[in-house]
């Protein structure tokens, strides 16, 4: 059953009207620019309320099954909502590890019981999820993760340390990658995947202060923490396979996300608008030929991203390297974001040296903060360098 053009147009108008009416007013404190920067209770309460409101209106998880709190309609409706949210520059739906990664995973490979138990709370924002993959000594080399999970009766006992755990201090659940067998020949085969509770004795999440001076992630210590054996997803030894599938969602190479914005809107249009009043050498900044050429290149990069998404859906135009566009999306998007924001600061003249908190910082230091925060996308979810390795090996077929 496919929706008619007219139906979609009407839906778009309806969403747009709802967003115009319901977009929250500026709360008067700094909001996170992405789900990786929720640092205070105040921010959390605000975002939770917003996400709940979006869900109540029927605009989140639209393509997820009705039985689990979703809308049960075609994904195109959620795409329309997401595009309108971006256009209206509304706040993010913060519970991204649930909405975008754990949720789709549970939807696709979870048991009936797991779906019934977890999915709705992800959508409502009640159950915050975090991800326990990275460890202090094993980041890019994730397959080497050493956090131990030892079966003891109908429990697993967890010991070890995870780090860079986004929202680790707020989360109710964690997707956890831990080693159930330290003696396998291949390091990957000893890993298992858990849907673990966070509020149990022996788990401590200590906030870490970030580059920006704000908070958002934790170092997460497991000391003889006992979790029910039923938290194991799939079977022991399947952890790597499941973790890789999770990363596919995280890197945007596979569909299934509940929707909502994971990042505050930062687009080149806003950047250009923000510098129109500036001068360079006493002339309007935007008349400077060097600046103009740089801007055109950034505009092209952003437009290429949008066009790539369209082309990815046309099979006849993806015959050479079918996985090229899905696998390179994250790298292209995150690196463009970095260059654009860095350039935006450079355009500000002496004001580029100011930061959030200075009364004269342009746009309140928005671009400075946005530049720093962009590293969450070039480092988190697999660094750009590791992404380039993956593309070289899996798309171009180059040797390891």
Partner 1 sequence: MSVINNTTLVFDEDQAMILDVARDFCRQRSPISAVRAQLDTPLGYDEALWQELVGLGWPGLALPASVGGSGLGIRHAVGIAEAMGRAMLGTPLISTTLAAQLVARATAEARVDEFLADVAAGVPATVALLEGPDWGADTCQCLFDEGGVLQGAKQYVPDAQAAGWFVVVTRHHNLPALALVRASQLRDGAISPHTLIDETKRAATVDFTGVQLTPDAIIAGEQVTVALCDFYLLGALLTAAEAAGSAGACLDTTVDYLKTRKQFGKLIGSYQALKHPCVDILMGVDAARSFVYHAASLLDDGAFDRDAEIACRMAKAQSSEVLLQAGDRAVQFHGGMGFTYECDAQLYIRRAQWSSQQFGDALHHRKRLAALLLDAAA
Ligand X SMILES: Cc1cc2nc3c(=O)[nH]c(=O)nc-3n(C[C@H](O)[C@H](O)[C@H](O)COP(=O)(O)OP(=O)(O)OC[C@H]3O[C@@H](n4cnc5c(N)ncnc54)[C@H](O)[C@@H]3O)c2cc1C
Residues that bind partner 1 (CB under 8 A): 267-269, 272, 276, 286, 289, 292-293, 295-297, 299-304, 306-308, 310-311, 314, 316-317, 320-321, 324-325, 328, 331-332, 385, 388-389, 391-392, 395-400
Other Cβ atoms within 10 Å of 324 Cβ, number: 16
Residue 209 contact among partner 1, ligand X, none, beta carbon within 5 to 8 Å by kind = none
Contact 147, 222 (CB under 8 A): yes
Rule CB under 6 A: choose which of 43, 78, 107, 131 binds ligand X: 131
Number of residues this chain uses to bind ligand X (CB under 6 A):
21
Q: Does 386 bind ligand X (CB under 6 A)?
A: yes
Rule CB under 6 A: choose which of 91, 110, 337, 380 binds ligand X: 380
Residue 398 contact among partner 1, ligand X, none, beta carbon within 5 to 8 Å by kind = partner 1
Residue 207 contact among partner 1, ligand X, none, beta carbon within 5 to 8 Å by kind = none
Closer CB to ligand X, 78 or 246, in the complex: 246
Token reading at 280: 């360079």
Closest distance between partner 1 and the C-beta of residue 317, in Å? 6
- In angstroms, the CA 239 to CA 179 distance is 8
Rule CB under 6 A: choose which of 165, 246, 328, 363 binds ligand X: 165
52: which residues sit within 8 A by CB, 6+ positions away?
Answer: 124, 125, 126
Residue 20 contact among partner 1, ligand X, none, beta carbon within 5 to 8 Å by kind = none
Closer CB to partner 1, 41 or 273, in the complex: 273
- In angstroms, the CA 110 to CA 173 distance is 15
Closest distance between ligand X and the C-beta of residue 374, in Å? 10
Q: Which stretch binds ligand X (CB under 6 A): 55-63, 101-109, 337-345, 383-391?
A: 383-391
Active site residue 250: yes
Contact 245, 233 (CB under 8 A): no
Rule CB under 6 A: choose which of 95, 134, 180, 212 binds ligand X: 134
Other Cβ atoms within 10 Å of 288 Cβ, number: 17
Rule CB under 6 A: choose which of 133, 156, 170, 343 binds ligand X: 133
Q: Is 342 exposed, middle or buried (0-12, 13-18, 19+ CB in 10 A)?
A: middle
Closest distance between partner 1 and the C-beta of residue 268, in Å? 6
Other Cβ atoms within 10 Å of 398 Cβ, number: 10
Token reading at 43: 């921010």
Closer CB to ligand X, 13 or 385, in the complex: 385
Q: Does 248 bind ligand X (CB under 6 A)?
A: no
- In angstroms, the CA 221 to CA 200 distance is 12
Q: Which stretch binds ligand X (CB under 6 A): 47-55, 127-135, 232-240, 267-275?
A: 127-135
Q: What is the DSSP letter of 100?
A: I
- In angstroms, the CA 173 to CA 397 distance is 37
- In angstroms, the CA 400 to CA 387 distance is 13
Provide the 3-class DSSP secondary structure of residue 238.
coil
- Which H or E run contains 157? strand 155-166
Rule CB under 6 A: choose which of 51, 325, 382, 391 binds ligand X: 382
Q: Is 200 left (phi over 0), alpha (psi -120 to 50) or beta?
A: beta
- In angstroms, the CA 221 to CA 158 distance is 10
Rule CB under 6 A: choose which of 184, 279, 287, 385 binds ligand X: 385
- In angstroms, the CA 99 to CA 128 distance is 10
Rule CB under 6 A: choose which of 78, 166, 192, 368 binds ligand X: 166
Residue with tokens 């990042």: 263
Token reading at 171: 């989360």
Residue 154 contact among ligand X, partner 1, none, beta carbon within 5 to 8 Å by kind = none
Catalytic residue among 37, 214, 250, 302: 250
Q: Does 95 bind ligand X (CB under 6 A)?
A: no
What are the residues binding ligand X (CB under 6 A)?
36, 130-134, 139-140, 164-166, 217, 376, 379-383, 385-386, 389
Q: Which residues are catalytic?
A: 250
């Amino acid at each position: 059953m496919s929706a008619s053009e007219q139906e979609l147009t009407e839906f778009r108008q309806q969403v747009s009207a709802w967003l115009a009416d319901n977009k929250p007013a500026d709360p008067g404190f700094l909001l996170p620019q992405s789900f990786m920067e929720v640092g205070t209770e105040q921010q959390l309460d605000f975002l939770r309320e917003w996400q709940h409101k979006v869900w109540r209106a029927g605009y989140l998880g639209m393509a997820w099954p009705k039985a689990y709190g979703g809308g049960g309609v075609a994904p195109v409706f959620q795409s329309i909502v997401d595009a309108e949210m971006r256009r209206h520059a509304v706040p993010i739906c913060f519970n991204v590890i649930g909405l975008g990664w754990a949720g789709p995973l549970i939807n696709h490979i979870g048991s009936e019981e797991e779906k019934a138990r977890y999915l709705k709370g992800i959508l409502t924002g009640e159950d915050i999820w975090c991800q326990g993959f990275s460890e202090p000594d094993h980041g890019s080399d994730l397959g080497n993760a050493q956090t131990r999970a030892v079966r003891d009766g109908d429990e697993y006992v967890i010991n070890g340390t995870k780090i860079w755990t986004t929202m680790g201090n707020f989360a109710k659940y964690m997707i956890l990658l831990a080693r159930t067998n330290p003696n396998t020949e291949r390091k990957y085969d000893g890993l298992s995947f858990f849907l673990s509770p966070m509020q149990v004795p022996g788990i401590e999440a200590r906030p870490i202060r970030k580059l920006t001076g704000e908070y958002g992630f934790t170092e997460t210590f497991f000391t003889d923490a006992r979790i029910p054996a039923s938290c194991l997803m799939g079977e022991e030894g399947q952890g790597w396979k499941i973790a890789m599938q999770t990363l596919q969602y995280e890197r945007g190479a596979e569909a299934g996300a509940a929707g909502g914005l994971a990042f505050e809107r930062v687009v080149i249009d806003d950047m250009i608008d923000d510098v129109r009043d500036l001068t360079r050498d006493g002339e309007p900044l935007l008349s400077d030929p060097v600046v103009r050429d740089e801007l055109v290149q950034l505009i092209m990069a952003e437009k290429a991203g949008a066009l790539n998404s369209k082309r990815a859906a046309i099979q006849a135009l993806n015959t050479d390297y079918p996985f090229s566009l899905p696998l390179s999306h994250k790298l292209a998007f995150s690196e463009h974001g970095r260059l654009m924001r860095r350039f935006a600061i450079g355009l500000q003249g002496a004001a580029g040296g100011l930061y959030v908190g200075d009364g004269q910082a342009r746009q309140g230091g928005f671009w400075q903060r946005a530049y720093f925060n962009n590293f969450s996308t070039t480092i988190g979810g697999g660094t750009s360098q590791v992404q380039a390795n993956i593309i070289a090996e899996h798309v171009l077929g180059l040797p390891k």
